[in-house]
Amino acid sequence: MKTYQIPGIDLPVSRLSYGCMRLGGSWGDDPLTTEDRKRAVKSVAAALERGINIFDHADIYMRGKSETVFAEALQDLAVDREQIVLQSKCGIRFPGDPSPHSPGRYDFSYEHIIASVEGILRRLETDYLDILLLHRPDPLVEPEEVARAFDELHRSGKVRAFGVSNHTGAQIALLQAFVDQPLVVNQLEVNLLHSYLIDDGVLANQREAVYVNASGTLDYCRLHGILVQAWSPVAQGALTNPPHDAPDNVLAAAELVAQFAAEKETTGAAIVLAWLLRHPAGIQPVLGTTNTQRIADSCLADDVTLSREEWCRLFIAARGGRLP
């Protein structure tokens, strides 16, 4: 599989990443099952076999069980830790943590970042993370605290590189003004049906631009060499298996996806992901399925190249209207 280079990471990373959220079974406190463990091994093996070498986690995924079962899968598969890139996220806190009246919230305090990384390393059974991301913007962020935590984690060798998730360009700039380490990744929701980061530039100064301002985030990331990772890159399968009552734009885009897949002798998932890969920002889709056939179908995107015309036809169909 073709690769990208992330600053601060020696190992080139595959153009597709594997998201490990679903590996951990349920969101409840119930323990991992034998079936959960078998599914994790099969999913991780399928990703590795197709050239994926970067695996995305978060401390909250299935309340830590996703990281735990992933570590077990690596051991079962005898994977060399030095040949993969491990990424995890922190900053989201569940309701009831630490007291019954505590609300669900975001927490970028020094104490929470340090404690979260210690838990991540313990569950993943590793001495270090290649990349740590701050999961969702904390409205009470004090960048000096983030900088102190990052300095300690980097100096101790527990985290090699840092980034963010769901952040705007301005929020990244604020953090970067205090943090010495470069922020090298921004993980964002982007797909054909959630293309607001791309619309942001196309619709500037247009009446249609009513979505929350994306603040030039995609351009900011390109300008500063920040890898954009796309979560939910296939829009939960809406373009490969749309319901009959789906909106007209979804049905039209799904029809075009199927047409291109037939013409190029590939899968619908490959076309949807190739649309992201075609963007010159160098977007890295994060696959979130535990279905091994879907993993295989998705990885075919690495061999698909869309023309400008094909890319724009998909963009316009999914938007449900012509460009301004």
Can you give the pLDDT at residue 211? 52
Which residues of the chain carry a pLDDT beneath 50?
none
CB-based contacts of 19: which residues, under 8 Å, 6+ apart? Answer: 56, 231, 286, 287, 288
Can you give the pLDDT at residue 324? 85
Can you give the pLDDT at residue 213? 61
The number of folded domains in the chain is 1
Annotated catalytic residue, options 61, 106, 196, 211: 61
CA-to-CA separations, 174 to 133, 186, 217, in angstroms, rounded: 15, 14, 13
Q: What is Dmax (Cα atoms) for the chain?
A: 57
Can you give the pLDDT at residue 212? 53
Q: What is the CATH number of the domain that holds 141?
A: 3.20.20.100
d(CA 3, CA 196): 26
d(CA 94, CA 55): 23
Beta pairing class for 17-19 and 92-93? unpaired
Q: Is residue 195 part of a domain?
A: no
Can you give the pLDDT at residue 301? 98
Can you give the pLDDT at residue 202? 83
Q: Is residue 263 part of a domain?
A: no
Q: Is residue 314 part of a domain?
A: no
Q: Is residue 267 part of a domain?
A: no
CA-to-CA separations, 88 to 96, 126, 163, 187, in angstroms, rounded: 22, 12, 10, 11
Q: Which two tokens stand for residue 230?
A: 């796309």
Domain that holds residue 62: 3-189
Can you give the pLDDT at residue 201? 79
d(CA 4, CA 134): 21
What's the residue count for the chain?
324
pTM greater than the 0.75 cutoff: yes
d(CA 286, CA 289): 10
Can you give the pLDDT at residue 204? 73
Q: Is residue 194 part of a domain?
A: no
Question: Hey, CA dihedral for 150, 223, 187, 128, is it positive or negative?
Answer: negative
Range list of β-strands (E), the chain: 3-4, 13-14, 17-19, 54-56, 85-90, 92-93, 105-106, 129-134, 159-165, 183-189, 227-231, 284-287
Q: Is residue 159 part of a domain?
A: yes
d(CA 188, CA 228): 7
Can you give the pLDDT at residue 43? 98
Reading phi first (left if > 0) and then psi (alpha if -120 to 50, else beta), residue 78 is in left
d(CA 264, CA 306): 10
What φ, ψ does residue 47 adopt, rounded to 5°? -65, -45
Q: Is residue 114 part of a domain?
A: yes
Q: Is residue 47 part of a domain?
A: yes
Is 211 among the residues known to form the active site?
A: no
